[in-house]
Structure 1
Amino acid sequence: MKRSLAAAAVAMLLAVSGCTTGAADPPIAAPSSAAAPSATPPFSTSPSSAPPPPPKDCLTETLDALDLPERVGQLLMIGAAVNAPSGLGDTVRRYHLGGVFLRGRSTHAAAQLKSGIAALQKQAPMPMLLAVDQEGGSVQTLKGPDFPRLPSAQRLGSGPAATLRDTTGTSARRLKGIGVNLNLAPVADTVPTSIGTGNPPIGAFRREFGSDPAKVAAAIRTVVPASQDAGVLTTLKHFPGLGRVRVNTDVSRGATDTVATVDDPYLSPFKAGIESGSAAVMISSARYPKIDPDAIAAFSKPIITGLLREKIGFDGLVISDDLGAARAVTSVSPAQRAVRFVAAGGDMVLTIVAADAAPMAGALIARAESDQSFRARVDEAARHVLEAKKRAGILPCR
């Protein structure tokens, strides 16, 4: 009897505690609304509780506000006569140009040049990169009373670094004073002594800082900060180097460097300029068969994307050499010159021929509309242009 009572007591305890002996677990009852509240309230997926997205930065806001034709326009730098730049105003407005290259030579005073540049900038939907070739020696766009003649790079490169720095800084301040914000300089090409003046594009005009790439690299490290600290962005040219060619790409076809490789010591001045923070790099229109046997540098993905972007690590603005009047590219239509350059990884197409704006813009738009990967490349290129404008202090926020 005592054993029966004990067994009954155990059974009652098991029933109360919810334990079973082999039977399926009973369903869990829903919690009572009268239950004590949890110490930590459950996470809510209500949109109102999600944190707000971070605000967009100025550059992203500006890019997002641009439609496709406006983005494509940022990829174009068109030539305008340096003494009458406002004549390009209609093209600037119609194609939303990202930049203008002041071509030719001028002996005008600074005030006159400043007035013309300001008038041109007023025509632009967005402030533009305004570029000149103010290297020194034989290549000097501005030679008026307010722009003293500059020594050649070869002469400056053979002198003290302090002179090179001071000369560069003074020249850049004069450019900034008239509204120029980008110099298509310095030349980072190395011309070996075995070729010297036999190199038509560079050596013949003493545009190189020296015949030793280490010495050229040292000069580039001086020039880049001297110019950019004075308010004018620099452009390292002509990647991956024109110092060993025997043909000038401006006036002839067939310029070829049969020596250059991806590990070429002559790349060191470009690397030095990139490490020094140069805003831009210009791509040559010569051939480099050991790097890419199939295309000139301006149309070469292995050179622009593979070597410059990925191997060397440059993430700034990539500009073409002239793709308008240069003899090296005349076998390709202007429209396809622009498309091939951008597809290879380039950002800003430079042409001194104003009439090229229409076919180049049209071809870039058409390709972007039919090819999503190319559209992404256009967006990336436009961002690089806007980043350069931000560095120049001219990027507006909408």
Structure 2
Amino acid sequence: MASVIAVLLAGGAIWWAWAHHAHAPHPQASASAHTSTPPASSPGVIRGGSPNSATPTTSPSPTTAEQAQAIVDGMSLDERAAQLVMTPLAAGTAPSAIRTLIADEHIGSVILMGNWTSGVAGVREATDMLQSYGSGPTRVLVATDQEGGQVQHLQGPGFETMPSEVAQGTMTLADLQAASRRWGEQLHMAGVHVDLAPCVDTVTIDRASNAPVGALDRDYGLDAAGNAQHAAAFVEGLRAAGVGAATKHFPGLGAVTGNTDFTTDGIVDTTTTRNGPEVQAFAQTIRAADPGMVMISLATYTAIDPDAPAAFSPTVIDGMVRGDIGYSGVVISDSLSASAVSAIAPADLGVRLVQAGGDLACVNDPAFTQPILEGLRARTRDDAAFAERVTQSARRVVALKLALGLAG
């Protein structure tokens, strides 16, 4: 473990590794992806970078940025807005149910929800079908929640049963990274590009009362520094398999009692501060491991911004994620169909996310997809400044797709 931690703190190879990954062809881009070998990477190497450095580690290389800009410049405003929506496909639902959203509305991302028990081959059949509906310069980005323990949407032949994050927290960093690489290879073979994991939440209250994280063993069960190290190892393992990660739920759900998925009167955190250890766990993970996405929670943090849930807070996204940490990759929301934000009109959800600096509106209820998309499009047509934000967000999403072999 000592050698792995030492590498975590070393920064010499960060930029080369990301640039090399961003420009390497993704094995899944070819018809032979079922038997392709994920890109090689040393399982014992975790990206370095000083936890206190303000230098962004997630900026795409100039060439990638230029490619993303060229692709987005060729899109209509409506198509750019569609790149900012991730629609769900539930287990047991035929992919054809969202064919129109992909083929006609140009929705750019899909999240696989529910309990898929068909194994790698069954999931691959569904993801291949989703890809067949798309057209244009980018392919569909497919994501899922594959954390381990009680949150593992994809199961069956070919998918290992993943231990909970608490159990993962007992593993050495090298062992966790190697295991994460295996799990990532399984996702890769199934046609999944991003794992919406790991949870980097640090539980600061009684675990049983912390409904969204501690009660479900969704955290690593360590202090903030230990959580960050294990999260970085998890992210690096996925990257070695050619799969992106999303650190969540920034700035942390470890100090709340209600679950944002089910509580309708809003979730409030009164203790997490802008520079506290819970936030530093995310900062250290992001700077060390450079995840493809950062997921923002739907709780409200009174010591940070008492006026808006984090996903709609410019202080949280533009101020903390973009400014304090220096992250310039894709910022994704927690599910905008969750009960915690049910008081907000669906057409306003995506608009508020983008206004705050976010990029990708994640939706778990398909009924929310069209209203969120239309809300984004309407505001884009009426507001030139907002249209520029949509364009910037579309560039970040497309840059991630380029890094994953889904564009260009």
2:255 counterpart SS class: coil
- C-alpha deviations, 1:342-365, integer Å up to 9, x for none? 111110001122232222122111
Aligned residue type for 1:78: T
Distance of 1:278 and 1:311 partners within structure 2: 16
> Does the 8 Å contact 1:368/1:375 carry over to 2?
yes
Pairwise CA distance, 1:333 = 1.0
> Does the 8 Å contact 1:250/1:327 carry over to 2?
yes
Match of 2:113 among 98, 103, 115: 103
Superposition CA RMSD, Å? 1.6
Distance of 1:173 and 1:90 partners within structure 2: 30
**Bigger Rg, which one:** 1
Aligned partner of 1:226 in structure 2 is 237
Pairwise CA distance, 1:58 = 2.5
Match of 1:169 among 181, 195, 198: 181
Distance of 1:87 and 1:371 partners within structure 2: 32
Aligned residue type for 1:215: G
Aligned partner of 1:328 in structure 2 is 340
Distance of 1:168 and 1:135 partners within structure 2: 10
- C-alpha deviations, 1:267-296, integer Å up to 9, x for none? 122112211111100000001011111111
Match of 2:388 among 359, 362, 376: 376
Aligned runs of 1:57-68 on 2, under 5 Å? 57-68=66-77
Pairwise CA distance, 1:94 = 2.3
Match of 1:185 among 165, 181, 197: 197
- C-alpha deviations, 1:295-328, integer Å up to 9, x for none? 111111111111111111110000000001x110
Aligned runs of 1:5-16 on 2, under 5 Å? none
TM-score, normalisation: structure 1: 0.83
Aligned partner of 2:307 in structure 1 is 294
Aligned partner of 2:272 in structure 1 is 260
Aligned partner of 2:157 in structure 1 is 145
Aligned residue type for 1:316: G
Pairwise CA distance, 1:262 = 1.1
1:185 counterpart SS class: coil
> Does the 8 Å contact 1:220/1:272 carry over to 2?
no
Q: What runs of 5+ residues in structure 1 fail to find an aligned partner?
A: 1-53
Aligned runs of 1:182-221 on 2, under 5 Å? 182-192=194-204, 194-221=205-232
Pairwise CA distance, 1:162 = 2.5
Pairwise CA distance, 1:111 = 1.5
Aligned partner of 2:247 in structure 1 is 236
Aligned partner of 1:80 in structure 2 is 89
Distance of 2:272 and 2:250 partners within structure 1: 11
Aligned runs of 1:302-321 on 2, under 5 Å? 302-321=315-334
Aligned partner of 1:115 in structure 2 is 125
> Does the 8 Å contact 1:220/1:269 carry over to 2?
no
- C-alpha deviations, 1:139-172, integer Å up to 9, x for none? 0001102112100000110222222112111000
> Does the 8 Å contact 2:68/2:396 carry over to 1?
no
> Does the 8 Å contact 1:85/1:102 carry over to 2?
no
Aligned residue type for 1:187: C
Aligned residue type for 1:282: M
Distance of 1:107 and 1:290 partners within structure 2: 42
2:318 counterpart SS class: helix
Aligned residue type for 1:100: V
Are 2:375 and 1:366 equivalent residues in the alignment? no
Pairwise CA distance, 1:60 = 2.1
1:226 counterpart SS class: helix
> Does the 8 Å contact 2:333/2:358 carry over to 1?
yes
The alignment covers a number of residue pairs equal to 341
Match of 2:258 among 241, 247, 259: 247
> Does the 8 Å contact 1:77/1:100 carry over to 2?
yes
**Could you tell me the percent identity over the aligned residues?**
38
> Does the 8 Å contact 1:100/1:130 carry over to 2?
yes
Distance of 1:281 and 1:258 partners within structure 2: 22
Are 2:282 and 1:273 equivalent residues in the alignment? no
Aligned partner of 2:298 in structure 1 is 285
Q: What runs of 5+ residues in structure 2 fail to find an aligned partner?
A: 1-62
Aligned residue type for 1:277: D
2:115 counterpart SS class: coil
